[in-house]
Copies of this chain bind each other. A is one copy, B any other.
Amino acid sequence: MVNIIRFDNVYIKEYASCVGKNEGEGPLGDWFDLKENDMRFGEESWEMAEAELSRRCIEILLNKSGVKGEDIALVTGGDLLNQCIASAFAVSGSDIPYLGLYGACSTCAEGMIVGASMAEKMGKDVISFASSHFCSAEKQYRFPLEYGGQRTPTSQSTVTGCGSFLLSDSGKIKVTEGLIGRIKDGNITDANNMGAAMAPAAADTLMRYFISTGTSPKDFDVIATGDLGVEGFELAKQLMMTSGVVMGDAFTDCGIMIYDAQKQDMHSGGSGCGCSASVTAGHFCRLLEKGEIKKMLLIGTGALLSKISAFQGKTIPAVAHLVKLESVC
């Protein structure tokens, strides 16, 4: 049973993106609303820096849209930090009702599905956002930054970024469908190869979508996974090929797009909740709004591990949620 969720009247009315220095210097650098060179965002800790990143991103979204916080029925948010404190502290003090989500790096797509469902249900404006921060993620998941640990070739670099979306009953980008992913476990145990862990989940969701809707990759201008990175993206292509689907030129990955792999020494590319969120808000939404992209699929990809489960030698379960976005132009 594949349950495609269809939305009749939900649009991305406005969008905003905030990123750090490396993302600002990457190929998409011109398009983010805010590029901040101070990785601390004026705060004393990496965790509060990430909260401030998200707070600013929501503020910019409200300013761009002209909508007041008091007219927002709900904000959904999520990040990678333990107990999702970046999102909670970002929203604390705003008086906007808050739902916390945890989908690891799939949170942007998860938030769009939950946010669109709630916007439709409530008949009100809803904000969805997702963030990650290189320094807070390194500190939590890997090594203290000062240690200067070597990274393996398949490792990805956590994006310092936030993307936020105002979901409403009008706009130039229509959210038309959603598909919630199943947890897939490809028996990967290497926490430095999360692309490989997430590829089976991405392929599973794509296959369920194509079979259920009778569509194929050629029906879309863009099919973008969230943060599979170089290895994971190749694996996803191969898995789709094995199932008889050639993904073609529309297939891309936000984690590969956000950095110039050669010039920026980013190994397998970007990752983190903020990767697909900032690339979608900074790049894809602009092209959808202008009609340069007519139809796209965003497949948020999340590795559902923790440092503890990795240390215990557990395999990495992963999930991928799909959202279909269409230009109204």
Instruction: Provide the residues of chain B in CB contact with A5, threshold 8 Å.
Output: 118, 121-122
With A99-B110, A102-B83, A304-B83: A309-B180 Cβ-Cβ less than 8 Å = no
Interface size class of A (residues with CB under 8 A): 35 or more
Give the shortest distance, in Å, between A158 (CB) and chain B (any CB).
14
Q: Are B309 and A98 in contact (CB under 8 A)?
A: no
Complex: chain B residue closest to A80, CB-CB? B83
Q: Is A212 an interface residue (CB 8 A)?
A: no
Q: Which of A269-308 contact B (CB under 8 A)?
A: 304-308
Interchain CB contact under 8 A, B305 and A98 = no
A93 and B185 in contact (CB under 8 A), knowing A103-B100, A304-B88, A304-B100?
Answer: yes
Alpha-carbon gap, A104 to B70, bound state (A): 24
**Cα–Cα, bound, A290→B91 (Å):** 41
Query: Which of A27-35, A230-238, A239-247, A312-320 forms contacts with chain B?
Result: A312-320
Instruction: Return chain B residues, CB-CB under 8 Å to A305.
Output: 83, 85
Q: Say whether chain A's binding surface is mostly helix, strand, loop, or mixed.
A: mixed
Please give me the residue from chain B that is nearest to A303 by CB atom: B83
Is A188 an interface residue, CB under 8 A from the partner? Answer: no
Closest to A72 in B: B1
Contact, CB under 8 Å: B104 / A83: yes
Does A14 sit within 8 A of B, measured CB to CB?
no
Q: Which of A83, A96, A113 has the most CB of B within 10 A?
A: A83
Closest chain B CB from A1 CB (angstroms): 6
Would you call A192 an interface residue if the criterion is a C-beta within 8 Å of the partner chain's C-beta atoms? no
Copies of this protein in the complex = 2
A183 in the interface, Cβ–Cβ < 8 Å?
yes
Contact of A97 among B99, B120, B182, B308 (CB under 8 A): B182
The distance from the CB of A191 to the nearest CB of chain B, in whole angstroms, is: 11
B306 lies within 8 A of A85 (CB): yes
Using Cβ atoms and an 8 Å threshold, which residues of chain B touch A183? 88, 91-94, 98
Complex-state Cα separation, A98 to B97, whole angstroms: 23
Q: How far is the CB of A254 from chain B (nearest CB, A)?
A: 20
Which residues in window 5-53 of A have CB below 8 A to B? 5, 44-45, 47-48
Nearest 5 pairs of A and B residues by beta carbon: A88-B304, A83-B306, A97-B180, A92-B317, A100-B102
What are 29 A-B residue pairs whose CB atoms fall within 8 Å in the complex? A1-B70, A1-B71, A3-B122, A3-B124, A5-B121, A47-B308, A48-B314, A74-B180, A78-B102, A80-B83, A81-B308, A82-B83, A82-B307, A83-B102, A83-B309, A84-B102, A84-B304, A85-B304, A85-B306, A85-B309, A89-B309, A92-B183, A97-B179, A100-B104, A100-B319, A101-B102, A114-B114, A117-B121, A121-B121
